[in-house]
Structure 1
């Protein structure tokens, strides 16, 4: 599909505008079934309708709304492609931000707000792109199933999982899917440009730790303090240095990085090559090991009262095939 300069400019302008407007619709997913994508789902369906794309709003639970649309391809004998995004975002504490997290404000050449990266930016790109297809009469070479899911940030219970279980007919004839992060490019040392392709994802294991102790007044000596117990467990887990797990994918990737940069390839230690990846080092580095980060703490109700219980939540991520290792290690560290 070839576009004129004016059409390219319109595509870019719409993408920016849509991203800003979607950020301004707080579609916060608080987890445990608490979320609301209705308004943003209606916004997306409305933008599709403006150019003649019929969208179905599918409510899997009160206000948990998914948007689904089909776009016919030029060759219906080819397997179909799913293009999908998600409409929900994680919570944002405005006091932690220098700008309103739901403003979508442009500053220093960037759009700021919750969802600007994950993933209302790509939602806007998808939306603007298919609208341009309609305007210029472009037909993709295969059928397209366009989906904007609810509930991605928690468990997918009211989004992708629900649709696959309750509306399997939607996916008939569609064999591949593209969404966020599946591939991107990065320039490494020596000005070599690599095009990275995601081969798998880490699994999620969210764990809640609970400690019991003896309640009492804060002025007394207490050697059975639940807060102390949970704090020590959280400290051990958060400070633990997970060993490298050399997956087949990462062996190939880091061998190539070593070859291109002239650096030493050590199959027992890929971390020394991360320096060549620039801003992508943080993300790629997380693919070398299991990870476990304490994210939530809860205890007590008054400053001078030692509580009887305390709890913490740990966000565990495991490499494919290494879930048992993650759980066993966290269990041991928790004590």
Structure 2
């Protein structure tokens, strides 16, 4: 079997194991994929295998291929093994059947991110079979990424930090293409991700009987006004090099480019087409109002209400910055609310002048010689942030065919009828094999 064939067979097994993470501790059961991966490496020389389980069934597997030179740079491949739930009636294929048709493999996790996980495992096994390289190569099949890593990468980075190197890490996603305005090509590498600054805004009002509402201070009216003011908040456009490079890579006309870089015209985001929402997200602090709660009985005026905000921060935007932004938006209501902090994690970004980034850039250049490589940040999260917090660099890497735009790749994430083109799997296998040998060899 070729390396691609081995990868495809493994990918089908990982999809069929249906390690669905619904964000509860007993879900996921990534032990099924960990055991599949352990069998995949069974009998392979030159590997050390470790399995860890912070909660029954929530298993991560670590496979290490020692390098011949202890001073050589190491490389760690972080592939998560859990997937998100499915809305079964919305699927036209079996979400866990791993069916191959129309040049694609269908199934939950085929794109996010089991095709990369399977690729990383297969390339690691091939390197081990050959006796290893100069630098140490580690593959980690990580549990619980879809629930922010509390039983996976976060736990590993806190409780077992020294089991493998976090210095140079690769994970999801990257390698898709930008719809450049003049019809030329550009290919992306994920170098960072936005942070989280979740908030719960509390307000109080007068309790009372629903039949006598006159002259009451209504918690519901107040929380509605809080929501209205936050929706109208003045959120400034990013001024960093990554946003500037992303805009310039599209080769818009000078007027559109200037409007996007200066933030003077929200309407200019329409020029990104299918990427308009993503482009806005990675150029602003975003505040999504997602949950509101007040009252229990229809005949009782509630004395308390709250609004939950899913806030995503750009690099450099601190908790204080977020709270100041909310207070400024609330104006004279700011003194009447309590701002409760929920999950807060700062944004993380890796440099574009590291040896690993340069290797990725070179490999992508071999696939797409005329396409500039464009660093981007993700609007969501990945396990790479834990390595960055420990002082390492981390990049999202894959290789997609020229026809696969960034918008199309993102559109498959957590979607109904999630599917990966087999051409992209073959390209990603070749890409990872090249990167590992270039970086470690």
TM-score by length of 2: 0.61
Describe how 1:1-335 pairs up with structure 2 within 5 A: 7=2, 10-11=5-6, 13-14=8-9, 16-22=11-17, 24-30=18-24, 36-50=28-42, 52=44, 54-73=48-67, 77-89=71-83, 92=85, 94=87, 98-99=90-91, 103-104=95-96, 109=104, 111-113=106-108, 115-131=109-125, 137=130, 139=132, 142-172=135-165, 175-182=167-174, 184-221=176-213, 223-240=216-233, 242-258=235-251, 261-264=252-255, 265-266=257-258, 267-269=261-263, 274=269, 277-323=272-318, 324-334=320-330, 335=333
The offset of 1:188, in angstroms, is 1.5
CA contact (8 A) 1:28 1:88 kept: no
Distance in 2, matches of 1:329 and 1:214, equals 28
Q: CA deviation at 1:217?
A: 3.8
Segments of 5+ residues of structure 2 without an aligned counterpart are 334-441
Q: CA deviation at 1:98?
A: 1.0
**SS of equivalent residue, structure 2 residue 112:** coil
Q: 1:227 to 1:88 in 2, by over 3 A?
A: farther
8 Å Cα contact 1:66/1:147 also seen in 2: yes
8 Å CA contact retained: 1:25, 1:102 = no
Inter-partner Cα distance in structure 1 for 2:305 and 2:90: 32
Partner SS for 1:320: coil
Change (3 A) 1:63 1:231: farther
Q: Secondary structure at the match of 1:327?
A: helix
Give the TM-score of the pair, scaled to structure 1. Answer: 0.77
Contact 2:26 2:56 (C-alpha < 8 Å) held by counterparts: no
User: In 1, Cα distance between the equivalents of 2:10 and 2:279?
Assistant: 28
- Aligned-residue CA RMSD (Å): 3.6
Q: Distance in 2 between matches of 1:27 and 1:133?
A: 31
What do the CA deviations read for 1:96-120 (whole angstroms, capped 9, x no partner)? x61399933558756353x454333
Cα drift, residue 145 of structure 1: 1.4
> Does the Cα contact within 8 Å between 1:89 and 1:153 map onto a contact in 2?
yes
Secondary structure of 1:200's aligned partner: strand
Say which SS state the counterpart of residue 177 (structure 1) adopts.
strand
Query: Is contact 1:11–1:129 with CA below 8 Å preserved after alignment?
Result: no
* Residue aligned with 2:167, SS: strand
More contact order relative to length (CA 8 Å, sep ≥ 6): 2
Q: 1:218 offset after TM fit, Å?
A: 3.7
Paired residue secondary structure (2:309): strand
Deviations along 1:118-160, one digit per CA (max 9) or x if unpaired, are 33343333344445656x7484563211113334344434332
Give structure 1 stretches of 5+ with no counterpart: 1-5
Deviation at 1:179, TM superposition (A): 0.9
The question of whether the paired residues in 1 share the 8 Å contact of 2:285 and 2:314 is answered with yes
Aligned partners of 2:200 and 2:307 also within 8 Å: yes
Equivalent residue pairs, number: 320
